[in-house]
Structure 1
Amino acid sequence: MDASSIFARIVAVVGGIALQWRKLKEIAPAPAWGSSPVVPEGKPQGKIPTLKMPSAQGWAPGQKPSVAPGLKVNAFASGLEHPRWIYVMPNGDVLIAESNQIPTPVKSVFGYAMQATMRRAAALGDSANRITLLRDRDGDGVAEVQQPFMQGLNQPFGMTLIGETFYVGNVDGVFAFPYVAGADSITADGRRLTTFGTGGHWTRSLLASADETKLYVGVGSLSNISESGMEVEKGRAAVYELDVASGASRIFAGGLRNPVGLAWEPNTKTLWTVVNERDGLGDETPPDYLTSVREGGFYGWPYCYWGQTVDDRVEQDAVLVATAITPDYALGGHTASLGLCWHPAGFLPGFPDGMIIGQHGSWNRSTLSGYKVVFIPFTNGKPSGPPRDILSGFLAPDEKASYGRPVGVTLGPDGSLLVADDVGDVIWRVTGA
């Protein structure tokens, strides 16, 4: 056992003591879910915030997630290296971005503790920096072809094809690559379209507009609550709009701490995103959320949350706080909701119109949350009911180990839902039973 692993175990013990102390002092809050959640008052946790993360265990042979009634699940592909995001090409090829958060210099004992804990949970380490191509040639629901499509990238995440150009969201910017229909790989050099700061929240999701003239890009903050000042946060915590023809980009909406998945609600043609909120205020405070993205809108970070609830830990900007938009739908505290895709009614049997969300799972609350794939029904372009589980069982009952952690979700080319699992190193395939 190396020094980092030993330190992670020590952190787990100290964290466990802190958790028990907080449980004695506080009543566990109800989950903050829905359009009108009860968000508990924030209680700053100071220099010893809650730190609880399960060890990455992976799936035993034959083991798989639990699935909702009327559905079934199988491994579409396995043996990947930290698969994070999925994109389906027009010819049915399935592309997987394999990448990971990489360690950065730490500035405190807590920073080192967090990195040691994240390593144990397989949430920090080497990054494959690769996009892998999967093909199911015989239609049996398992990919027989699994080969590199692009290599030598820089923490790739979002992917989009427009015409003969393939776009990749690397951590440091969006790049455009020439693509030939049906190609097994791309080896040509890419053309940089944007430059983004690295470190911190590193995923760069991409989504094309319906007319394919614009790309929307999610860029998370560098820090939790701007601990190093707002100067280093310039151009972050935002959704960008990129003009494909000119390459010009602008911030479309801001104050979004870590907007990851992006999806269109097709009936109203509205852009939606899932956002990971700040840490250190309690188990359910504030909740992560699903929200429509208004052009020019400001969603609070770092000054306030869930509308105009001020975060007293941050030097305030009253003018911006007064404009902060309340998100549409709370997804529970620290669920790490990352994946997002639109689900048309009936695509999965028994499920109406709505959004599917991959919840990566918490690391910073007394009872872990997330670690599942959920469905939020929509009516008239808005969330309209309680969530339903699609996949669960990624977390051991005692919360000490995770078998998997869901990230990207997308509709497959064969009528299935595909889910990237970056601890199990699997792409799960969900269909009707």
Structure 2
Amino acid sequence: MGKSRLCAATALALLCSIPAQAADDALDKLGGFRTTGTSLDIPQVEQSGKKAENLKSIAQKIKVPDGFKVELYAIVPDARHMAVGTNVGVVFVGTRKSKAYAVTDRDGDHVADEVKEFAPSLRKSVPNGMCFTKDGFLYVIEHNRALLFPAAEFFYESPDVAVAVIAEQLIPKEDESFNHGARTCAIGPDNKLYITLGQPFNVPPKEKLKGFAEAGIGGIIRMDRDGKNREVFARGIRNSVGLDFNPANGELWFTDNQVDGMGDDIPPGELNRAPKPGMNFGFPWYGGGKIRTVEYKDDEPPADVTFPEVEYAAHAADLGMRFYAAEQFPEKWRGGIFAAEHGSWNRTKPIGGRIMFTSLKPDGTADKTEVFAEGWLDPKTGRYLGRPVDVAIALDGSMLVSDDLSGAIWRISYGE
């Protein structure tokens, strides 16, 4: 790890709650931490008033299966990917801008009491990716940097939080682009950090392929939790903005958004399974599913291409995904995959604004895919009331859905 930039004054005392091996690494960084003098009075995001009432009215329009209900959990500006704390369930929320947020339900009534910026003294750039380790370490993945917060659930109320930069640069500076620049992350069963690296083009020029393949751009990389031993885990991916591991067998699954401008109904979006390293998922030779791209139609694709487990609706923009490993939902939904459809922007008739569900067969491959929740897209007007980005499972087993259009987190529960 490189030298860290910030700390809370009580950081050393809190290390006693961190497992020994992880604490040893963090201790090396804490000596360089300092307070910045930033005001302790961090402004809160208003959770009541007209905006809250408008959002509650949207919740009533969302259709879910019998026994489920949708409610407003929190107002969070530009809400993107989420990570639920392993200790008390503080929800950390990323954005595609320069802020991240901490969301707290202090009284346990399933509605956020407090939403405020997380680590406001730290300058951030597209802090979209959020993921927790089982022992309570929070990773925040920016567009071109990876950060580690050793005790985020303890520090979140301070403007200065303990943080270490574990990767100063994820991609070469010359390849930085806001297009497809929202990173996501997950901790694998091998205790390594996995990061998606979307490539910045609709279809990349051929002269970029070699460098992209070496860096893992248009792929998924993995590294040790301290940032060491980086390697490319998977290639042939256009722009994945969601990944998770099947808790039943440890296999990695991920969504992938495919090529624009080929027509309303092609190519499909993808849900992919990567049970081992070194797999190639076909892009840019294939633009989605088995649809060849115009730019590479005369080029021989790799012989070992793996095609998707599920083909989603074209341009629906499936982003965050999560296996449901809790018990609140009925048996039908347990062990399956929920994915957030952000919704199309380049289709004659808009599609998306839904939560999709994919069940798995006994062998761990995809079975059936169906709509679980819909209504964020008004079918009559084509207007989006919200755009789901990510799904996360709260400690009580309910589902949280982030929405960067309405600036909200929705809560879907069963039997309450």
TM-score by length of 1: 0.74
What's the counterpart of residue 86 of structure 1? 82
What's the counterpart of residue 255 of structure 2? 274
Q: Work out which structure has the larger RCO, using CA pairs closer than 8 Å and 6 or more positions apart in sequence.
A: 1
Match of 1:367 among 342, 346, 349: 349
Is 2:136 the counterpart of 1:172?
no
Q: What letter corresponds to residue 427 of structure 1 in structure 2? A: I
Q: What letter corresponds to residue 223 of structure 2 in structure 1? A: L
Maintained 8 Å contact 1:222/1:233: no
> What secondary structure, in the 3-state scheme, does the structure 2 residue paired with 1:260 have?
coil
What's the counterpart of residue 224 of structure 1? 202
CA offsets, 1:225-268, max 9 Å, x none? 11484257453110111122561211100011011111111222
**CA–CA distance in 1 between the matches of 2:113 and 2:67?**
26
Maintained 8 Å contact 1:81/1:98: no
Residues 369 and 308 (structure 1 numbering): CA distance in 2 closer, same or farther, change over 3 Å? closer
**CA–CA distance in 1 between the matches of 2:166 and 2:117?**
22
1:308-327 equivalence runs, <5 A: 309-314=291-296, 317-318=299-300, 320-327=301-308
Is 2:57 the counterpart of 1:62?
yes
Q: What letter corresponds to residue 380 of structure 2 in structure 1? A: D
Residues 95 and 139 (structure 1 numbering): CA distance in 2 closer, same or farther, change over 3 Å? closer
Q: Which has the higher strand share?
A: 1
Residues 184 and 330 (structure 1 numbering): CA distance in 2 closer, same or farther, change over 3 Å? same
Is 2:105 the counterpart of 1:136?
yes
Q: What letter corresponds to residue 84 of structure 1 in structure 2? A: R
1:105-120 equivalence runs, <5 A: none
What's the counterpart of residue 149 of structure 1? 118
Residues 195 and 63 (structure 1 numbering): CA distance in 2 closer, same or farther, change over 3 Å? closer
**CA–CA distance in 1 between the matches of 2:386 and 2:393?**
20
**CA–CA distance in 1 between the matches of 2:155 and 2:346?**
43
How many pairs are equivalent? 345
**CA–CA distance in 2 between the matches of 1:402 and 1:412?**
26
Residues 299 and 69 (structure 1 numbering): CA distance in 2 closer, same or farther, change over 3 Å? same
Q: What letter corresponds to residue 131 of structure 2 in structure 1? A: T
What's the counterpart of residue 318 of structure 2? 337
Q: What letter corresponds to residue 180 of structure 2 in structure 1? A: H
What's the counterpart of residue 365 of structure 2? 382
TM-score by length of 2: 0.77
Maintained 8 Å contact 1:345/1:351: no
**CA–CA distance in 1 between the matches of 2:256 and 2:265?**
14
What's the counterpart of residue 375 of structure 2? 393
Maintained 8 Å contact 1:308/1:322: no
Show structure 1 runs of 5+ residues with no match.
1-57, 101-126
Show structure 2 runs of 5+ residues with no match.
1-52
> What secondary structure, in the 3-state scheme, does the structure 2 residue paired with 1:361 have?
coil
Maintained 8 Å contact 2:80/2:402: yes
Maintained 8 Å contact 1:299/1:305: no
**CA–CA distance in 1 between the matches of 2:359 and 2:317?**
19
Identity %: 27
The Cα of 1:428 is off from its aligned counterpart by 0.4
Q: What letter corresponds to residue 169 of structure 1 in structure 2? A: I
**CA–CA distance in 2 between the matches of 1:315 and 1:87?**
40
> What secondary structure, in the 3-state scheme, does the structure 2 residue paired with 1:67 have?
coil
Is 2:181 the counterpart of 1:202?
yes
> What secondary structure, in the 3-state scheme, does the structure 2 residue paired with 1:291 have?
strand
CA offsets, 1:40-93, max 9 Å, x none? xxxxxxxxxxxxxxxxxx956533122222200111101x21000110111233
Maintained 8 Å contact 2:55/2:406: no
